[in-house]
Amino acid sequence: MVKIIAKNISKYFKKRNGYVIALDDVSLTVESGARFGILGPSGAGKTTFMRIIAGLEVPTKGELYFDDKLVASNNKIIVPPEDRKIGMVFQTWALYPNLTAFDNIAFPLTNMKLSKEEIRKRVEEIAKILDIGHVLDHYPRELSGGQQQRVALARALVKNPSLLLLDEPFSNLDARMRDSARALVKDVQEKLGVTLIIVSHDPADIFSIADNVGVLVKGKLVQVGRPEDVYNNPVTIEVANLIGEINELEGKVTKEGVIVGNLKFPLDKSYKSERVIVGIRPEDVKFTKDLINDENWILVGKGVVKVIGYQGGMFRITVTPLEGSEDEEIVTYMDHPLKRKEEVLIYVKKGSVKIFET
Amino acid sequence: MKKSAIILVIPTMAFTIILLYLVIWNAVVSFMNWSLLNPKPYFVGLQTYLSVMKQFQFVNSLVHSLELSATLVVVGNVLGILFASLLYFLSSNKVRSVFLSIIIYPLAISMAVDALIWLWLYNIDIGIDWVLVKIGLPKFPWLSSTSTMFPSLILVTIWAYSGLATLFYLAGFMNIDKTIIEAAKLDGAGSFKILRKILLPNSLNSFIISTALLFLFSFRIFSLPYILSGGPTNIFLQTLVVYMYYLFTVEFFSQATAVATIVTLIASIVILPYALVIIRRWIRR
């Protein structure tokens, strides 16, 4: 198992006029045997970062270490990808279409000068763990999405890599299969103890697999921490949005609090700028018709129900402030529906309001 | 059928009708005995065919054509795969375009010009032989000896048409998902193994198209043997189409059309199954 250290890695791509900065001075350490997630919107450079770790791309600047060994630095690949002991699952899975599942999984082993029996033993072993033993003589096109993904995972794991890279491995799966696939990846990682890096734009992947997460925005690593900490204390509204659903309201700072239309949010400290963005997670909001006598919930004002939706067994209620700013919306999930155009009281959980200076 | 469908089909229909008219007219003439000696032709059935097939020159040129086609299909495919894989594994797109342009250059210019270039290169005083003499090797007779003439023609044909196979194989390789190749690299496969295990097995379409076209181009080749031999009468470089032209110049019109019909027939027999396979593969997608 290997420890990954990235030091000041930058990557520029040449374009017709000048450069595009894909990664900007990224420094990061992933401990040996850890599960690390890289979260970011599309185009943030997360796949580029993973490809640099894999050795498929060279960093324009900076150094990359595997344990104490320098593998790439300043536009030079020192250890080529095939010698880095990496198993990678691509977003498209990249199975060899002309080979059966067995031969796909065996492919890395055939490059290692092993005996036929040894190869068969190892392929069958990993196939058993991933529950694809019965489809080994099928071609990729004959397999379901979930089976293809497990074949790709088996191919990545069969060579006993020290590092497992997953590039959006679940985005091509049916939504209902994703959770079991995530659980499977985590179980296998725990069993083998391999260092794991997963790249995704879906926070669900990060929460279910990673112990630590780094958030990439426009090529910059803006926040690193445990997923819960990043969720609760995001450094910017962008990060807050990436790691989960959040209500964004534009407000004005006054002595009594942040004013959004007729709503007034409590202030925890003073802010320099006058215009700020108020962020509240849907689970930190409550709409009621009656007053709540609980000091954990703070009344911020009155609103009117705008849209009622239904999602995942809950009613998704959108409320706008009663007066002032009708473009602002607050969303939460409730177990019962409200009527449209109904007036409600808006409560927020104490200490949950996040204020971002613009 | 809709009106728009009919309108769209009209140009193809017109073209097909003209083409078929000529092919059929050609076939009809081949069943007559039209020649300089017979200005008033009439139908003689298969007689013209029988007399053509008995001629030494016909068998000779048929053998030449078949030898040329077989060699070009085999060597062209091998060289196409070789060049395409060398180009594929180049890391720079610019260098790849430069080399590809050079390789398909003979196809871009007229075949007559290609033949003239090689007429110079094969000249025993100023061409390749000049270089051979300079570095102290004996001269090679190329087009000056009856035994090396035909191999020399095959060499020029290979030079001219290998670019075609290269183009189709390269297109086939480039069509394969790049991440599959990257996955193979991460799995520790070298370039040769990637070529053998992944690129080639997934390029069956390229093989079919390049084989079909190499066969067609070489079987109905005319400019190269015509110009390299300096006319249609050199029996050592006579291919079927050159022989057909020869019969025409000496005004054996029906015999010429009989040879033309035989060429069309052989080409159709070889190409039709290929065409059907290709069309079926495209439809199945």
- Whether the pLDDT of residue B248 is over 90: the answer is yes
> CA separation (Å) from B152 to A97, B118, B224?
42, 9, 11
Which residues of chain A does B184 touch, with a Cβ-Cβ cutoff of 8 Å?
96, 107
Helix/strand/coil for A320: strand
A261 plus A224 within the same structural domain: no
- Whether the pLDDT of residue B123 is over 70: the answer is yes
**What is the model's pLDDT at position A357?**
83
The whole-angstrom distance between A174's CA and the closest CA on chain B is 22
CATH number of the domain enclosing A302: 2.40.50.140
A235 plus A284 within the same structural domain: no
Domain B54-114+146-284 fold: MetI-like fold (1.10.3720)
List, for residues A141-161, the tens digit of each pLDDT value.
999 988 999 999 999 999 889
Helix/strand/coil for A145: helix
A232 plus A255 within the same structural domain: no
**pLDDT band for position B1 (50/70/90)?**
low
- On whether the CB atoms of residues B62 and B52 are closer than 8 A, the answer is no
> Domain boundary residue among A184, A213, A239?
A239
A135 plus A159 within the same structural domain: yes
Tell me if A82 and B180 make a contact (CB, 8 A cut-off): no
**What is the model's pLDDT at position A34?**
93
- Whether the pLDDT of residue B92 is over 90: the answer is no
Mean pLDDT value across residues A316-326: 84
A vs B, Cβ pairs < 8 A, gives: 56
Half-sphere exposure of A62 (CA within 13 A, CB side): 23
> Domain boundary residue among A239, A270, A290?
A239
Token pair, residue B145, equals 């000896």
A195 plus A283 within the same structural domain: no
The whole-angstrom distance between A108's CA and the closest CA on chain B is 5
- Whether the pLDDT of residue A321 is over 70: the answer is yes
**Which of B187, B191, B197, B206 should be substituted to probe chain A, the one whose Cβ sees the most A Cβ atoms within 10 Å?**
B187
Which domain covers residue A273, as residue numbers?
A: 246-357
A61 plus A197 within the same structural domain: yes
**What is the model's pLDDT at position B217?**
93
> CA separation (Å) from A141 to A66, A95, A106, A145, B8?
36, 10, 18, 9, 37
Tell me if B179 and A92 make a contact (CB, 8 A cut-off): yes
Q: Return mean pLDDT, chain A.
A: 90
**pLDDT band for position A257 (50/70/90)?**
confident
What residue spans define the domains of chain B?
54-114+146-284
> CA separation (Å) from B222 to A306, B112, B215, B216?
79, 9, 14, 12
Instruction: For residue B187, give the chain A residue with the closest CA.
Output: A108
Q: Which amino acid is at B97?
A: S
Mean pLDDT value across residues B145-166: 95
Domain count along chain A = 2
**What is the model's pLDDT at position B285?**
58
**What is the model's pLDDT at position B283?**
73
- Whether the pLDDT of residue A16 is over 90: the answer is no
List, for residues A47-65, the tens digit of each pLDDT value.
999 999 999 999 999 999 9
- Global pTM reads 0.84
Task: Please report which helix (H) or strand (E) contains residue A153, including its range.
Answer: helix A145-157
Instruction: For residue B180, give the chain A residue with the closest CA.
Output: A94
The whole-angstrom distance between A94's CA and the closest CA on chain B is 5
Which letter does DSSP use for residue B263 in this model?
H
Tell me if A96 and B177 make a contact (CB, 8 A cut-off): no
Task: Please report which helix (H) or strand (E) contains residue A225, including its range.
Answer: strand A220-225
Tell me if B185 and A155 make a contact (CB, 8 A cut-off): no
A191 plus A52 within the same structural domain: yes
Partnered with residue A277 across adjacent β-strands are A250, A356
Which residues of chain A does B182 touch, with a Cβ-Cβ cutoff of 8 Å?
56, 90, 94
- On whether the CB atoms of residues B159 and A70 are closer than 8 A, the answer is no
A14 plus A107 within the same structural domain: yes
Tell me if A90 and B179 make a contact (CB, 8 A cut-off): yes
**Which of A51, A71, A84, A90 should be substituted to probe chain B, the one whose Cβ sees the most B Cβ atoms within 10 Å?**
A90
Instruction: For residue A94, give the chain B residue with the closest CA.
Output: B180
ipTM higher than the 0.95 cut: no
A228 plus A269 within the same structural domain: no
Rounding to the nearest 10 degrees, give the CA dihedral for residues B198, A114, A118, A152: -30
Mean pLDDT value across residues B215-238: 93
> Domain boundary residue among A239, A255, A275?
A239
Q: Residues, chain A, total?
A: 358
The whole-angstrom distance between B85's CA and the closest CA on chain A is 18
A268 plus A211 within the same structural domain: no
CATH number of the domain enclosing A126: 3.40.50.300
Tell me if B183 and A94 make a contact (CB, 8 A cut-off): yes
